[in-house]
Amino acid sequence: MLLEGKNAIVTGASLGIGSAIAIDLAENGANVAVNYRKHADEAGALAEKIIGMGRKAIAVQADVSSFEQAGSMVKKVVEEFGGLDILICNAGVNRDSVIWKMDEEQWNTVLDIDLKGCFNYARHAAPIFKEQGHGKIVNITSINGLRGKFGQSNYSAAKAGVVGFTKALARELGRYSVNVNAVAPGLIETEMVKQAPEKVKDMALAEIVLGRIGQPEEVAWVVSFLCSEKARHITGHVISADGGQYI
């Protein structure tokens, strides 16, 4: 297995892409701490599923936008698992609006969760990785952070910030054998996407050169690879998992 005995945190892991990442990490041998904010039942069920796979797992409620709660979770995981090797910053939200209608709450909420959340966890994990001389960080960005999207100035700004943050961390932590990369999904078939208007989905599907909507596990496979020793010479990169939606 690629990740046998490794200890991982996945933020925003109770549903969607985060859940798929947590499962795939466990399938590859990792113990997984499942972060959630609201979906306690789903997070608990996911942790139990991972335990049933023969791995260690805990579900931890923490608001990723809180520096203190992020630090408490990292500390708890180290205590429960005996260490930390992998950090996946996946938690994210949308508050879509054109800029002339967007209010401050919509802007701040997205930036606090999608961008500051990555900082909060990385800030607490980095000293651990630096001291032990190894670690893997994968931040989940979006193709809309690479190109911008109408009605998503807050989301596009946050996800673009994640790209710059990833590259800066790769430079800072590389000398300690810590790999830092990002994955940029395109349209992925999560529950949120399933509930989107058909017109919106059709417009996005028309951009995808492979002609189909991606699945959460197709993002998870890329993440697990980046967390493995097979990707030990890859750092500071953004890998799109989008079926060619952004070319």
Domain assignment present for residue 109? The answer is: yes
Q: Which amino acid is at 38?
A: K
The answer on pLDDT for 196 being more than 80 is: no
**Per-residue pLDDT tens for 20-41?**
999 999 999 999 999 999 999 9
Domain assignment present for residue 202? The answer is: no
CATH of the domain at 16: 3.40.50.720
Torsion sign (Cα): 157, 192, 137, 184? negative
Domain assignment present for residue 199? The answer is: no
**% of the chain at pLDDT higher than 70:** 100
| pLDDT class of 201 with cuts at 50, 70, 90 | confident
Domain assignment present for residue 33? The answer is: yes
CB atoms within 10 A of CB 38: 10
**Per-residue pLDDT tens for 115-141?**
999 999 999 999 999 999 999 999 999
Q: Where are the alpha helices (DSSP H) in 174-247?
A: 191-194, 198-205, 216-226
| pLDDT class of 90 with cuts at 50, 70, 90 | very high
Looking at residue 168, its pLDDT comes to 98
Number of domains in the chain: 1
Q: Given 121, 155, 176, 246, which residue is catalytic? A: 155
| pLDDT class of 199 with cuts at 50, 70, 90 | confident
Domain assignment present for residue 144? The answer is: yes
Q: Give the pair of three-digit tokens for residue 121.
A: 């966890």
**Per-residue pLDDT tens for 56-75?**
999 999 999 999 999 999 99
Looking at residue 197, its pLDDT comes to 80
The answer on pLDDT for 194 being more than 90 is: no
HSE toward the beta carbon, residue 214, CA cutoff 13 A: 25
Domain assignment present for residue 225? The answer is: yes
- Burial readout 91-104 (b: 16 or more C-beta within 10 A, e: otherwise): bbbbbeeeeeebee
| pLDDT class of 191 with cuts at 50, 70, 90 | confident
90 vs 150: CA distance, rounded Å: 22
152 vs 96: CA distance, rounded Å: 5
Q: What is the mean pLDDT of the chain?
A: 96
Looking at residue 130, its pLDDT comes to 98
Give bridge partners of residue 42 from the DSSP assignment.
none
- Decide if 19 contacts 91 (C-beta within 8 A): no
Sheet holding 178-185, edge to edge: 57-61, 31-36, 7-10, 86-89, 135-140, 178-185, 238-241
- State which residues form the domain around 16: 7-186+219-241
Instruction: Provide φ and ψ at 145, rounded to 5°.
Output: -85, -15
70 vs 76: CA distance, rounded Å: 10
176 counts as catalytic: no
Domain assignment present for residue 197? The answer is: no
Domain assignment present for residue 235? The answer is: yes
57 vs 78: CA distance, rounded Å: 12
